[in-house]
Amino acid sequence: MHTPTAWAALRRRDLLLTAWPWRSAAYLTATATLGVIGLIVVLSLFLLGTATVVLLVGVPLLCGVTLAGVPAAVIERRLLPLVDSAPIDGPHRVPAEPGLWCWLRTRWREPGTWRELGHLMLSALVLWLVEVTALLGGLVVPLALLVTPLLLAFADEEGVKVLKTWQIVSWGPAWATAVAGLVLLVPGGYVLTGLAAARAVLSRRLLGSTQVELTERVQELSRSRARLVDAFEAERRRIERDLHDGAQQRLLSLSMTLGLAEVCEPDEVGALVAQARDEARLALEEIRELIRGIHPQVLTDRGLPAAVGAVADRSAVPVQVRFDLPDRLPSAVESTAYFAVCEALANVARHSGAGSATVDGRIDAGRLVVEVRDDGVGGADAGAGTGLAGLADRLAVLDGTVILSSPRGGPTLLRLEVPCRPTAPYA
C-alpha cells in the first residue's frame, strides 16, 4: 500500500513494521544538523558583520545574513521527499537580467526570501533542540538499551555500564534492559514519525509557493498562452499568404505557360519550355524557403549546431557560432531553441547596429543554455515590440526563460535557458 506522507503513515496499524520511522529519523537527523549549521553560520556572519560594519567590510556579511535562508531552503526542499512525496516548488522567480546585483535585488523583493529566513531562524534557535531531544529519547536511548546483551557478551568481568549510569554484570538484568529498550521503541517510532510529519508541514508552508504566488504564475501562463495563440494564428496567415502570393502564382503561371506551349508554333516551344522550367525552379525555391521557415531539414538531420550555423551564414551581421553539445537534444527543445536564435539574430540585424555577434550553446545543470551577444548600441527593451516578448512566450511552453541584458551603449546579451535531457549522441 502506497503511503505518500508521514501523516498518512501514522494511521497505519503496521507503522512500526514499515520504513517510515527510520525515514522520519533520517529526516529529523538531517534537519537538526542543518539547524545547527545554520545557527553557526548566521551567528558568525552577524557577529563579524557587526564588528566590521564601520569598515564597510561587514556590509556584505550582514547582507549574507538576510539571504542565508535561500540555500538552506534549497536543502530543506531536497530533504522533504523523505517524509512527503508531493512535489514542492520554490517561491523564487528567475531574475530579469543576468548578474549578481539583479539576483540580489530580485531576492530581497520576494516575500519567499523572508519566509525562508524565518524558517532558518526557527530551525536554528528552536527546532533542532526539539529534534535532538526526540531522537535521543525515541531512538538512541532505546537502541542503547536494546544492545545491552550484545555488549555484555564482549565485556570483561566488570560488566557493562548502561548509558553511563548503572552497571550490569549478569544476563538477567541485561535481557530485562533489552526488553525495556524494545518497549521504548514502540512510542519512539510514533513520536519520531509524528514530529517529522509536523516538521514537513511547517517546511511546506514556509518554503513553498503561496496561493498568491501560484495564482500570479497561472495568470502569467494564461497571458503567455493567449499571446502564443495569437502568434500561431499570425503565422498561419503568413504561411497562407506566402503560398497564395508566391508559390501558387508561380504554379499558375507555369500552368498557363505549358498551355501556351501546347497551341503555339513549333519554333516557339523551346522558349516557352525554358520559361516554364525557370518558373518551376522559382516555385520550388519559394516552397523550400517556406518549408525552411516551418522546420528546416538541416535541424532534423544534423541537429541544433548545424542549423544555427546555417542561419549564421545567411545573417547580414557576421556571426560566430560555438556549441558544446555532446548529445542530440529532444526535437521540441531543438526546434524551440532554433527559432528563438533565429528571432534573436533577426533582432540583431534589424535593431542593434552591431558589427558582429556570437552564439554560444552548452548544457548546464540539465538545461540548454544559449547566449546571443552583439556589440551593438544596446538599449533593447522586451516591451518595445522587438519580438522579445514572443520569444519569451515560445520558451515558456517548455518552462524555459529569457534573460536580457542590454545597457545603452551595448553590448547586448540575450540568454536563453530551456530544461532538457540529451537523447542520443551526435554521429
> Which class for 151: exposed (0-12), middle (13-18), buried (19 or more C-beta within 10 A)?
middle
Contact indicator for 142, 179 with CB cutoff of 8 Å: no
Domain covering 300-425 assigned CATH 1.10.3720.10 in the classification: no
List CB contacts of 143: < 8 A, sequence separation 6 or more.
Answer: 181, 185
Q: Give the confidence band of 392 by pLDDT, cuts at 50, 70, 90.
A: confident
Percent of the chain with pLDDT over 90: 26
Q: Is the pLDDT of residue 157 over 90?
A: no
**Lowest mean per-residue pLDDT among 125-129, 261-265, 389-393:** 261-265
Choice among 134-143, 253-262, 300-309, 333-342 with the minimum mean pLDDT: 253-262
Query: Per-residue confidence at 107, pLDDT binned at 50, 70, 90?
Result: confident
pLDDT of residue 370: 92
Q: Which of 213, 29, 46, 209 is nearest to 121 (CA)?
A: 46
Q: Residue 10 burial (CB < 10 Å; 0-12/13-18/19+)?
A: middle
Report the mean per-residue pLDDT for the chain.
Answer: 81
In whole angstroms, give the CA distance from residue 181 to residue 165. Answer: 15
Q: How far apart are CA 238 and CA 245, in angstroms?
A: 10
pLDDT higher than 60, residue 166: yes
Given a cut of 90, whether residue 228 has pLDDT beyond it is no
Would the pLDDT of 1 be above 60? no
- Dihedral pair phi/psi, residue 318, rounded to 5°: -60, 130
Q: Per-residue pLDDT for 300 more than 70?
A: yes
Closest-CA residue to 382 (of 358, 416, 354): 416
d(C-alpha 111, C-alpha 249), whole Å? 59
Q: What is the pLDDT of residue 121?
A: 94
pLDDT tens for residues 180-200?
A: 989 999 999 999 999 999 999
- DSSP states of 119-150 as a string? HHHHIIIIIHHHHHHHHIIIIIHHHHHHTHHH
Query: Which of the four pLDDT bands, split at 50, 70 and 90, describes residue 236?
Result: low
Q: Which residue(s) pair with 418 in the sheet? A: 368
Least confident of 188-192, 292-296, 330-334, 353-357: 292-296
pLDDT band at 294 (very low <50, low <70, confident <90, very high): low
List the domain boundaries for the chain.
Answer: 6-209, 213-294, 300-425
